[in-house]
Structure 1
Amino acid sequence: MTTATIRSNGELEIDDADEINDAVDAAYRAKYGHYAAYIIQAVTSPEASSTTMRLVPRS
């Protein structure tokens, strides 16, 4: 996989672990919590959390 600045030999996987999504949501709220509640809700909703991915190195 290659992006504008990162090259990796890995694969993207959907990460549906609740503890991971909760940690991502908490970090987002901590950083962007000063924005309107509807914006935060849109980004931390279950629908948005279902798109959380991680990069897993290929074996």
Structure 2
Amino acid sequence: MITLNPTCTSIWKCYQKPHTMQEVIDEMIHSYFGNKTDIAKDICRFTSEALYYGLLKEVD
């Protein structure tokens, strides 16, 4: 079973429709306070793991 914390849930919702990772990063930076670099790293890690486990897929 996989559960998502509130931040990951927000990222997941962004990916409900095709978005680039940069679009998701930009949206999360506008939604959350914090270091922009840390937010970007967290989104990259989440996205990479979701792709690895087949929870997300890349589209053209």
User: One fold, TM greater than 0.5?
Assistant: no
More helix by share: 2
State the structure with bigger RCO (CA 8 A, min sep 6), 1 or 2. 1
Query: TM-score normalised to the size of structure 1?
Result: 0.35
TM-score (norm 2): 0.35
In proportion to residue count, which structure has more strand?
A: 1
Greater Rg over alpha carbons, structure: 1
